[in-house]
């Protein structure tokens, strides 16, 4: 019985010794298991081709996760963002998250900028990932408001599909101020052409139709006020936004060469 008791405590001591040995062995190897102290610096990879980045990160022992975005300032298939950031200290085996620039930009809808102030229009363009192109000021009473939106020189409508990063030109009202214009010579000019001339100069006009009009497209201007030239033969001037009175009839006036040169 005494020998059995001694044998029991001997076994207990052996078990305790083994536990202590395992305990110290575990903590001694913990630094190896966790690679304690083995840290690497995340390299600066922005702007580099994704294939080159993959090879570099895999060589360093990192895992890699990829997402995509579109940024007009980066070339296609280049890294536009990296997490953790470049310069961060991380352990080997850590996952590095890359954002890679798409080959083709996604499409967005053209926002409605008409009648907005120039500043608000630019903010709305940026929010929709579009860029401001040229700004064209046109004489108009809506000073500072957007009058027209152009893409590649052509009008673009709200809701039209465009690529992100597309450049949009804005036609903006510049007011009338003291813009002096030469009064155009409208005598014997067909009515539709006269309207185009007056509209292009941002001049208003009052029309009076005389006689029987069979076809307005061939009717002509036979009187205007103010006239093209004054009594001394010098060109008359008019401010943008002012009014021109015109009288229209079906048949043109019979005028000489001197009159046409007025």
C-beta separation of 187 from 228 below 8 A? yes
Q: What is the pLDDT of residues 8-18, one digit of tens each?
A: 666 666 677 67
State which of 101, 120, 151 marks the end of a domain: 101
E-assigned strands of the chain? 39-41, 63-69, 79-83, 89-91, 95-101, 107-109, 131-138, 146-151, 154-155, 161-163, 167-173, 180-182, 204-209, 220-225, 237-239, 243-249
Section 136-153 average pLDDT: 86
CATH classification at residue 56: 3.30.10.20
For the residues 54-75, what does the mean pLDDT come to? Answer: 85
Domain stop point among 128, 145, 173: 173
Q: Are residues 90 and 115 in the same domain?
A: no
The predicted structure's pLDDT at residue 261:
38
Is the distance from CB of 170 to CB of 135 less than 8 angstroms?
Answer: yes
Res. 4: pLDDT tops 50: no
* Max CA pair span of the chain: 149
Q: How many domains does the chain have?
A: 3
- Bridge-based pairing state of the strands 63-69 and 95-101: parallel
Q: What is the pLDDT of residue 158?
A: 94
pLDDT per position as a tens digit, 162-212: 998 899 999 988 776 666 788 999 999 999 999 999 888 878 899 999 988
* Alpha-carbon gap, residue 180 to 106, rounded angstroms: 46
Mean pLDDT of 17-35: 56
Using 50, 70 and 90 to split pLDDT, how confident is the model at 258? very low
* Range of weakest confidence among 123-127, 133-137, 236-240, 252-256: 252-256
Cis peptide bond N-terminal to 84, omega within 30: yes
State the pLDDT at residue 253: 55
The string of DSSP letters for 182-208 reads EPP--TT-BHHHHHHHHHHTT-EEEEE
Residue 111 has pLDDT above 90, yes or no: yes
Phi-psi region of 168 (alpha: psi -120 to 50; beta: other; left: phi over 0): beta
Q: How far apart are CA 199 and CA 195, in angstroms?
A: 6
**pLDDT at residue 130 above 60?**
yes
Residues 199, 243, single domain; the answer is: yes
Which pLDDT score is estimated for 38? Answer: 65
In terms of residue numbers, what domain contains 203?
A: 180-256
pLDDT category at 32 given cuts 50, 70, 90 is low
- Same domain for 141 and 122: yes
Residues 93 and 111 in one domain: no
Is 0.85 surpassed by the pTM of this model?
no
34 falls in which pLDDT band (50, 70, 90)? very low
Cα–Cα distances in Å, from 85 out to 57, 99, 158, 198, 216? Answer: 14, 12, 39, 61, 71
23 domain-assigned: no
Q: How many CA atoms lie within 13 A of 103 on its CB side?
A: 1
pLDDT band with cut points at 50, 70 and 90 for residue 133: very high
Is the pLDDT at 26 greater than 80? The verdict is no
10 is a domain residue: no
State what percent of residues in the chain have pLDDT above 70.
Answer: 81
At residue 213, does pLDDT exceed 80? yes
């Amino acid at each position: 019985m005494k020998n059995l008791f001694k044998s029991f405590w001997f076994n207990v001591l052996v078990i305790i010794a083994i536990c202590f040995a395992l305990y110290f062995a575990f903590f001694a190897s913990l630094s190896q298991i966790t690679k304690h102290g083995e840290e690497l610096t995340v390299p600066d990879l922005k702007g580099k081709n994704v294939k080159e980045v993959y090879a570099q990160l895999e060589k360093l022992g990192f895992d890699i996760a990829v997402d995509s975005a579109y940024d007009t300032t980066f070339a296609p298939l280049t890294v536009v963002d990296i997490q953790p950031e470049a310069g961060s200290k991380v352990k080997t085996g850590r996952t590095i998250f890359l954002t890679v620039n798409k080959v083709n930009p996604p499409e967005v809808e053209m926002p409605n900028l008409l009648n907005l102030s120039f500043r608000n229009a630019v903010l709305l363009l940026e929010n929709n990932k579009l860029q401001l192109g040229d700004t064209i000021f046109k004489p108009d009473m809506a000073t500072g408001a957007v009058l027209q939106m152009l893409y590649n020189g052509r009008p673009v409508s709200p809701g039209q599909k465009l690529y992100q990063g597309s450049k949009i030109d804005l036609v903006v009202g510049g007011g009338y101020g003291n813009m002096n214009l030469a009064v155009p010579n409208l005598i014997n000019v067909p009515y539709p052409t006269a309207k185009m001339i007056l509209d292009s100069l941002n001049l208003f006009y009052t029309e009076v139709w005389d006689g029987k009009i069979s076809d307005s497209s061939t009717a002509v201007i036979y009187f205007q006020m103010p006239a093209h030239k004054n009594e001394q033969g010098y060109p008359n001037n008019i401010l943008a936004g002012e009014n021109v009175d015109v009288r229209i009839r079906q048949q043109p006036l019979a005028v000489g060469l001197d009159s046409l040169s007025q």
